[in-house]
Structure 1
Amino acid sequence: MIEGLPAEGVPAERVLAELRGLREADLPTHGGRLFAYVYDPDIAGLDELARAAYAISAHVNGLDPTAFPSLLAMENALVAAAGRLLGAGPGTAAPAMAGSVTSGGTESLLLAVKAARDAATTDAPRIVVPSTAHAAFAKAAHYLRVGLDVVPAGDDLRADVAATAERIGPDTVLVAGSAPSYAHGVVDPIPELAALAAERGVRFHVDACFGGWVLPYLRRLGADLPPFGFDVPGVTSISVDLHKYAYAPKGVSVLLHRDASLRLPQFFAYADWPGYTMVNPVVSSTRSGGPIAAALATLRHIGDDGYLALAAKTRDAVGVLAAAVQATAGVRLFAPPETTVVCLATEPDVDPFVLADELAARGWHTQPQLAYGKLPPTLHLTVTAAVSGTAAEFAPGLAEAVAATRARGPVPLPPELARAAGALTPEQVTPELIEGLAAGLGLGDGATGPMAAVNSLLDAAPPALREALLAGFLSLLQRPAW
């Protein structure tokens, strides 16, 4: 147990040693075997450069750009870089593009919704998104008290334009599409959706948080992907995360608007108090300049040619992994591997959650995705440039994991847990119940190790109960050790 506030100060080297010790329990952030959460370009010296840049601006405060013009210059450089990549700037269809640097994709999406809500005249604003849209839209709707209309995606896992048209009403303030969707890695029909939104006089946001920095390079390499940037008429805003395929440290995202007037409702300003007038373009007031400096250093070090090469390595790795899935009996590609995602499903005799554990036991860390509507559970693999060095090893590992999964069979849930999944309501989930469930699943005080039983329980529960169970479990984890 680490004591947060010891009676006497601890020497610096011991503090660092303790932190390194804690990190030993984490999944590997480098090495091309973790297919979620982190983005690794496998560039020697990049981590050290980012850390040094972070240190230079760690104590700079983004609250007032007139006090710290260095941070203003960095933010403007990042926004300009993202804008140029996504079809804005002099001589383009969006010469007056404006943007802001945020802490991540969720904040970017929240602010896109806020700008649309605050610009509207309706008293009951609503947003229309496909069922494959990122959950951050639901979070934004919840936080901002905006109605959420979810349109089922088509059989091809893409947004259904006709169904979207039916859901747009007089209170709709924003329509959104993904480039690509996170779960399956497919790109929505952005030109058609944007044209529909423009026809109805509604803002249209492209959630390119996940792939916005890599798709332009994949298109330059010949990938058959639809346009999704400001070159598409009707696109009014785009979000792109730099801590994903721009390979910057977390957390830096950019929210772009076609022009400054569209961005203005994003701001929050308040002068009716005795202190300084608060004016914030993003959610936070005080912001460290560290992540922004690290992001700028990363972009400048890699450069346009470097990102093109990284995209090529990623594309090739996706091809190798997809071929491994296609060559392995018992698993299949669930979605076309057209971007940077390999999404696989399993045959009935291969439990997907046991397979995830078996892959993890062999050093391959995937992200299980639970069943949703008519969609079965799947395994999600986010592929980065670093995977190009390990992709060839995946096929034998997958074959071994599938064979081991077949031999083990599904993880049987204890009868009382199975009954609970079918009978509980969200309102019945209490801290005491969560502690009992955690003990019954053998989780103890943590969430490391095999997770097939946990995922099987969650998969058997309806979405509202899943939410309550996971919120309760996270609450169980996030408590002080006295």
Structure 2
Amino acid sequence: MSLPEQGRGVDELLAEITLLKKDDLPLRGGRVTAYVYDTGRPEVHEAAARAYFEMLEVNTLDPTAFPSVVEMERQVVGAVAGLLGGGHGIFTSGGTESIMLAVKAARDSRRTAGRPRMAVPVTAHPAFHKAAHYLGVVIDPVPVDPVTFRAVPSAVEAALTEDTILVVASAPSYPQGVVDPVAEIAGIASARGVPCHVDACVGGWLLPWLREAGAAVPPFDLSVPGVTSISCDLHKFGYAPKGASVVLFADAGLRRRAYFASASWPGYAVVNAGVQSSKSAGPLGGAWATLQALGREGYLELGRVTLAAARRLREGVAAVPGLRVLGDPDSALVAFGSDEVDVFALSDEARRRGWFLQPQLSYAGIPANIHVTVTGVTLRGVEAMIEVIAESAAAARERGPVELPQGLVELVTELDLDTLDDTAFGAFASALGVELGGAGQPEMAVVNAVLDALPADRREAVLVRFLSVIYS
């Protein structure tokens, strides 16, 4: 982009945005089963958008300058605390920041002789790995049960050391939508004097409504003895605009450990509750308006229809020849795999039919699979989704699995990526039939097949290069 000589009019700009978005996945209607959350109620999204715009230019950096920020945050955090067992909270930009603050608070509250460590189930979100990378913490991976996909409490206990500063549980874990045995894990952590964080970024604002709608949801929040912090994203099943999340701490002292303050310079005094300093209050306004627009009855009704859709989806998938649901999901996240159908090909076939079904790579003994996030709008189109899954599975079966050229995986494994600039890497990918940065919805089966065949650290290196080429 070159900066225009003359400023452009708003109609022209909006028209160009529409053009730029022509190949984007649709935000509404339930055909995109990841990344977006749709209530199916346009008036709720409109209320959120207008409140977001109203607060867009308000800077949350100095709450004494903008008291509206303080009042809105108190109300939003209070609503989350009221649903999840109390506590003292911080409004953040998303689950990753909430988790980052929970890890920081635990690290700063529990000094260790060696490098700080945390026990993290292999199904926990990569945000914990990101937090560990940024904050100098070592990850001790904890295996999960190969059938239920839940963290194994005895394995958590075995992972603890004198330097453990945090134990993690998920409610639910994203890959298979199951809730870890939080009470047992938190009890083990408490007995050793170690904080326990529950990642309820996906489930925090969903599981209570599913429970009220009749689902059997195990205890997972701050009411569970030993749980010291919990994260809950409002831009997921709270249906607020991104980015909106809350991290709650069991006591105010632990919350203060998440804060950052600096007076070591001659400018204004800096004190931040979150990772960012200046940021728009737009997401806070959008979250506040969404909660107000829906209310308890609105969320309970969304919980009812989400529960019904998830149950119907599981039944429908189980009836498709060759497919099986992984585990016994406690939430509205459903993963399914197959020993007969290439799930990466299935995902591409669904894209051809106008649906995005999220592929997940194999890891730690868990097979490659397809992930579906069921939202408030899914029930309206669940029969169409099941039909598309069945058609896509049949097409993928006929198409056969992705066949990678002989020696390709070994070549990528041994390739010194640092010797290739982005142009050379893009040409290398193109030679394999993978076009990066093109228009339209891409075929991803080959990319996913290559990644799935690589060890995790190599996958990460290749993904970094993919991203670099796309933005070059």
Residue 362 of structure 2 is aligned to residue 371 of structure 1: yes
Residue 456 of structure 2 is aligned to residue 463 of structure 1: yes
Is contact 1:322–1:337 with CA below 8 Å preserved after alignment?
A: no
In 1, distance between residues paired with 2:136 and 2:321?
A: 47
Deviation of 1:245 (Å): 0.2
- Give secondary structure in 2 for the equivalent of 1:24: helix
Residue 143 of structure 2 is aligned to residue 152 of structure 1: yes
What are the superposed Cα offsets for residues 228-249 of structure 1, whole Å, 9 maximum, x if unpaired? 1121111110100000000000
Residue 159 of structure 2 is aligned to residue 167 of structure 1: yes
Map of 1:382 onto structure 2: 373
Map of 1:57 onto structure 2: 55
What are the superposed Cα offsets for residues 367-420 of structure 1, whole Å, 9 maximum, x if unpaired? 111111211101100110111110011222222111111111122224463442
The runs of 5 or more residues in structure 2 that have no matched partner are none
Map of 2:316 onto structure 1: 324
Deviation of 1:335 (Å): 2.0
Is contact 2:121–2:141 with CA below 8 Å preserved after alignment?
A: yes
Residue 16 of structure 2 is aligned to residue 18 of structure 1: yes
Deviation of 1:202 (Å): 0.6
The AA in structure 2 aligned to 1:465 is R
2:227 to 212, 215, 235: 235
- Give secondary structure in 1 for the equivalent of 2:257: helix
* Structure 1 segment 272-421 matched on structure 2, within 5 A: 272-348=264-340, 350-415=341-406, 417-421=408-412
1:183 to 153, 172, 175: 175
Deviation of 1:26 (Å): 0.4
Quick one: structure 1 residues 362 and 220, their matched pair in 2 at CA, closer, same or farther if it must change by over 3 Å?
Answer: same
Map of 2:44 onto structure 1: 46
What are the superposed Cα offsets for residues 411-451 of structure 1, whole Å, 9 maximum, x if unpaired? 22244634423533666665355213321223143373211
1:451 to 444, 453, 457: 444
* TM-score, scaled relative to structure 2: 0.96
Is contact 1:154–1:160 with CA below 8 Å preserved after alignment?
A: yes
- Give secondary structure in 1 for the equivalent of 2:302: helix
In 2, distance between residues paired with 1:37 and 1:388?
A: 18
Give the count of matched residue pairs: 468
- Give secondary structure in 1 for the equivalent of 2:119: strand
Is contact 1:413–1:457 with CA below 8 Å preserved after alignment?
A: yes
Is contact 2:436–2:470 with CA below 8 Å preserved after alignment?
A: no
* TM-score, scaled relative to structure 1: 0.94
Residue 404 of structure 2 is aligned to residue 423 of structure 1: no
What are the superposed Cα offsets for residues 247-290 of structure 1, whole Å, 9 maximum, x if unpaired? 00000100100111111111111112111110001001111111
Quick one: structure 1 residues 221 and 449, their matched pair in 2 at CA, closer, same or farther if it must change by over 3 Å?
Answer: same
- Give secondary structure in 2 for the equivalent of 1:254: strand
- Give secondary structure in 2 for the equivalent of 1:238: strand
Residue 107 of structure 2 is aligned to residue 114 of structure 1: no
The AA in structure 2 aligned to 1:287 is K
In 2, distance between residues paired with 1:462 and 1:444?
A: 22
Q: Percent identity?
A: 47
Pick which of 415-424 and 220-229 moved more.
Answer: 415-424
Map of 1:5 onto structure 2: 3
- What is the Cα-based RMSD across aligned positions, in Å? 1.5
The runs of 5 or more residues in structure 1 that have no matched partner are 89-96
Map of 1:207 onto structure 2: 199
The AA in structure 1 aligned to 2:97 is E
Pick which of 34-43 and 215-224 moved more.
Answer: 215-224
Map of 2:64 onto structure 1: 66
